[in-house]
Structure 1
Amino acid sequence: MIELILLALSAALGAVIRAYIISLKLFDRFSLPYGTFTVNVLGAFMMGLSIPLVAQGSLIYFMVIFGFLGGLTTYSAFTLDQLRLFETKAFKALVRYTFTMMFFCLVALALGLLIGVSF
């Protein structure tokens, strides 16, 4: 039972940090939702960094990977952003946003893995 509580607390912490980052005023000046982009790329990097450093199957692994990073990153907000771009017929922005997100998340994950493995 304590494991589930710790998982929930770590997910809540990730969600609070995500909400804070997304609400930063510096993202208001852009036409694309770069707040969501930022948390997803940051989360992908942290995921790559964490996987080699945290023993898989341990409580810390579940707290970091499924809890904190699960709360921090947001696929649902990403798809909602895509829907908004689609509804406003901003098709070029939709394609650019989608592929940019996918590319940079993969690069961030790979970079995190490379750094994590070198420790």
Structure 2
Amino acid sequence: MINSLLVGFGAGLGAYIRNFLMQTSNKIKIDFPFMTLLINILGSFALGYLTASVRDKRMLLFLGTGICGGFTTFGTFNMELSQLWFQRRFFSCILYFSLTYIFGILGFVIGIQM
């Protein structure tokens, strides 16, 4: 029961932080889903770092599964990717997809190495 509460509270906190950053970035007009890309890369890095450094299972549930899981956003990524596709912005679509996965994996690996 406590594990579920830790994950739930962490996920809410991560989602709150993500929403705050998304709202802040709405003031800057960029015709590319840069903030979601940045959030997913940062979240991947943080999860890699936490996976390698946090030994307490409950703390990892709270920070990794909860906060990082709520902070990163696969659903928004897919929505924005689909929007680029349907707008026939194929280069941006492929670039966004590639950067997200390449830098997401790289961020996770760098996080573990640190």
TM-score after normalising by structure 1: 0.88
What secondary structure sits across from 1:23 in the alignment? helix
d(CA) in 1 for partners of 2:90 and 2:29? 20
SS at match of 1:24: helix
Q: Is the 8 A contact 1:27 1:35 kept in 2?
A: no
Residue 27 of structure 1: how far off its partner (Å) = 6.7
The aligned residue for residue 89 of structure 1 is 88
Aligned to 1:12: 12
Preserved contact between residue 7 and residue 61 of structure 2 (Cα < 8 Å):
yes
In the alignment, what sits opposite 1:79? Answer: 78
Among the aligned pairs, what percent are the same residue? 25
Secondary structure of 1:80 counterpart: helix
Q: Secondary structure at the match of 1:32?
A: coil
Measure, in 2, the Cα distance between the counterparts of 1:3 and 1:48: 20
Q: Give 2:52's aligned residue.
A: 52
Alpha carbons of 1:27 and 1:33: their partners in 2 closer, same or farther (altered >3 Å)? farther
CA contact (8 A) 2:49 2:112 kept: yes
Moved more, 42-51 or 1-10: 1-10
Give the residue type in structure 1 aligned to 2:12. Answer: A
Is the 8 Å Cα contact of residues 6 and 61 (structure 2) preserved in structure 1? no
- Determine the structure 2 residue equivalent to 1:66: 65
TM norm structure 2: 0.92
Aligned amino acid, residue 10 of structure 2: S
CA–CA distance in structure 2, aligned partners of residues 110 and 101 of structure 1:
14
CA–CA distance in 2 between the matches of 1:101 and 1:27? 22
CA drift at 1:26: 6.5
Residue ranges of structure 2 left out of the alignment (5+ in a row): none
Count of equivalent residues: 114
- Is the CA contact (8 Å cut-off) linking 2:14 and 2:67 kept in structure 1? yes
Contact 1:7 1:66 in 2 (8 A): yes
Give the letter for the 2:50 counterpart: S
Query: Does the CA-based 8 Å contact 1:23-1:35 persist in structure 2?
Result: no
State the distance in 1 between where 2:38 and 2:27 align: 10
Unaligned regions of 5+ residues in structure 1, if any?
Answer: none
